Structure 1
Amino acid sequence: MIEIKRYSKAQEKEWNDFVASSRNGTFLFNRGFMDYHADRFDDASVMAYRNGKLCALLPANRRESTLYSHQGLTYGSWIVPINHFDGAMMLEIWEAFMTYCKSEGIATIIYKSIPHIYSPYPSEDDLYALFRQGAVLKEVNLSSTIDLRNPLGFNMSKRQQLRKAHKCDITISETDDYERFWEILSACLAERHDSKPVHSIDEIRLLVSRFPDNIKLYAVSDDEGMQAGVCMFDTGHVFHSQYTATTAKARKNYYLTALYDYLINLGAGHAYFDFGISNEDHGAYLNEGLLNQKSSMGGQGVVYSIYEIKVK
């Protein structure tokens, strides 16, 4: 028998221990990451128990009568154990979860599935359960990913850019100068997208202090200081480019191409290098220029999917 319980702060250690030993969990599901912006969301995460033993977690938040796979996370779904779990148990969990949602006055569930690249083990039992629950595909975003076990390499244009960048007197290294990087990033986003970084400088500093092995900053510098940087999220299985920023000088001299070449080589030992999505407007718009930049470095398509389920 499956019992669904709402997460509480008292269960933080149990939650984190389960994520750490799970089949498809990453550090984004650790409460130390999830709760840094707890004031922005009404956390409605749940824990599923089978015969009194924890067997699955769902990071979630609630707005009125809608329950979301946590909106503060890039991806999210049921987090499950490596062993003693299969599709039949996932169906059982979903049945109990739907009953729970109905009792809580939830009318709609918006569910993000974890892109397959983030799980070291096959973990798509939830997608079958979504089909059984009559889920509708609501949104798809397209990411670009390199299989580091069989990389395609840069195309000719990128190789030419790489040679030009290295003719400049540049240095590429890990750095902790987030203040300078955030200046470049904020200027970039304001100028090119009329937006701001998702995280504030204080928030990223907090997250770096909590996850120093998972969040790192790499930069290209010349005689005028930092000119380009990439903030990487490292799950151990995937090396993910979370934030990228360049000055006009860096763009002119292709410093970012040199930095990505460095990072892709640095990522050897991971299964994948993920550039992230190239979409806007909930997947309806594909930035083909951005996509081309990633494709020219060997990135190929991986989807981030979101589903809608009506609670009956």
Structure 2
Amino acid sequence: MEYHSDRFEDYSLLIYKKNKLKALLPANIEGDKVYSHQGLTYGGLVLPKDLKFDVVLEIFKELLKHFNKNNIKALYLKQIPPIYNAFPSDEMQYLMFILKAELTKRDTLSVIDLKNKLKISSNRLEGFKRGKKHHLVIKEEGDFELFWDAILIRNLEKKHNAKPVHSLEEITLLKERFPNNIRQFNVYKEHQIVAGTTVFESKYVAHSQYISGNENKNLLGSLDFLHVHLINEVFKNKVYFDFGTSNENNGLQINKGLQFWKEGFGARTITQDFYKIDTSNYVALNKVFI
């Protein structure tokens, strides 16, 4: 996370039991509020697979007590989507109920179960066929400059008056640190880039972090052509393919066209929840076990 340390005041915590590391919480602080690190897409407690429920409860109680004693009034916690867990791990969902945590946001993610795939829709297959008809070529590239400068930045500025979350320098640095986990796939027509996607790859999930094509993407079928290839060939042995969220307005609305496009590949919806927890409520965790 160091690459954007200038944007956040770090408040990440390590939790030990008998000098053995049991959990960690990536976090940053603003005044009397602590956040699941705002520089990370996913958050919550990072736990080892052998940790049982009673220990998770004790860890979270001690965290809230620590915050409360240090005059931190609220913890804003974002959960990790379940597809990224190595094992079932919904302890925090239950604790949010006990703590009467306030649900402040719920995003939807469009996810394909690659071990139980649905049929790709006729619309997306038609786009794939257009890509073949136009002799499009997909290449995995070692750098991001062409996609960032020729496609991604231009599209975000034109459509949303926005910039990518990662600058070119930042995504290049992350690629250097995680060469096998961040991959760039570009689509070319007659040696000219027309589309691409940046994929964040973890053990079980391939996630399209950035997806963008030029003004001819519908005519060429470039993004359909690319993603049919990624789903059916490149990442076919993963458990899930994650298109990410189509939410806007703090989760209250969904870009219908974008959602429709993702679902055409067989994606279906899971959610990611965001909570506000009053740190003084830690006492409620004393009464869970009977």
Question: By the TM > 0.5 criterion, same fold?
Answer: yes
Please name the residue that 2:272 is paired with: 304
- Name the counterpart of 2:243: 275
Which structure 2 residue ranges, 5 or more long, are not aligned?
281-290
Between the aligned partners of 1:177 and 1:113, the Cα distance in structure 2 is 31
Secondary structure of 2:211's match?
Answer: strand
Give 1:44's aligned residue: 11
SS in structure 2 at match of 1:282: coil
Find the partner of 1:256 among 216, 223, 229. 223
Per-residue deviation at 1:269?
A: 1.4
Structure 1 position 177, deviation (Å): 4.0
Of residues 120, 126, 130, the one that matches 1:154 is 120
Q: Distance in 2 between matches of 1:127 and 1:55?
A: 19
CA distance in 2, matches of 1:125, 1:277: 24
Structure 1 unmatched runs, 5+: 1-33
**Is residue 87–residue 126 contact of structure 1 (8 Å, CA) maintained in 2?**
no
Q: State whether residues 129 and 221 of structure 2, in contact with CA within 8 Å, keep that contact through their aligned partners in structure 1.
A: no
Deviates more, 1:280-289 or 1:208-217: 280-289
Paired residues of 1:216 and 1:232 also in contact (CA < 8 A) = yes
Matched, 1:112 2:90: no
Partner of 2:175: 208
- Deviation per CA, 1:52-105: give whole Å up to 9, x if none: 21111111001111100000111111011111x111111111111111001221
- Match for residue 176 of structure 1 among 142, 148, 161: 142
Give the whole-Å Cα distance in 2 for the aligned partners of 1:114 and 1:164.
37
Alignment partner for residue 188 of structure 2, among 221, 226, 234?
221
1:116, CA displacement in angstroms? 0.3
Equivalent position amino acid for 1:72 in 2: G
CA shift at 1:212, angstroms?
A: 0.5
Pairing 1:42-191 to 2, within 5 Å after superposition: 42-83=9-50, 85-183=51-149, 184-191=151-158
Deviation, 1:120, is 2.1
Q: Note closer, same or farther for the CA distance 1:296–1:272 as it changes in structure 2 (3 Å cut).
A: same
Point out which structure has higher relative CO (alpha carbons under 8 A, 6+ apart): 2
The aligned counterpart of 1:294 is: 262
- Give the letter for the 1:240 counterpart: H
Compute the displacement of 1:125 (Å): 1.2
**TM value normalised by structure 2:** 0.93
Q: CA deviation at 1:119?
A: 0.9
Contact kept? 2:199, 2:206, Cα under 8 Å = yes
CA deviation map 1:149-202 (0-9, x unaligned) = 011131111111111111012111201241110021001101111111011101
| 1:112–1:307 CA contact under 8 A, matched in 2 | yes
Distance across 2 between alignment mates of 1:221 and 1:119:
35
Give the whole-Å Cα distance in 2 for the aligned partners of 1:113 and 1:185: 28
Q: Which residue of 2 is the match for residue 22 of structure 1?
A: none
Structure 1-normalised TM-score?
A: 0.87
Identity, in percent, stands at 37
RMSD: 1.0
For these two proteins, the number of residue pairs brought into alignment is 278
SS of corresponding position for 1:144: strand
Q: What displacement does 1:309 show?
A: 0.4
Which one is further off, 220-229 or 300-309? Answer: 220-229
Distance 1:248 1:98 in 2: 50
Point out the more displaced range, 153-162 or 59-68: 153-162
Question: SS of the residue aligned with 1:121?
Answer: coil
2-side partners of 1:252 and 1:36: how far apart? 38
Q: Measure, in 2, the Cα distance between the counterparts of 1:127 and 1:121.
A: 15
- Could you tell me which amino acid in structure 2 is paired with residue 199 of structure 1? H
Q: Report the equivalent of 2:287.
A: none
Cα distance, 1:224 vs structure 2: 4.6
Whether contact under 8 Å (1:87, 1:129) holds in the other structure is no
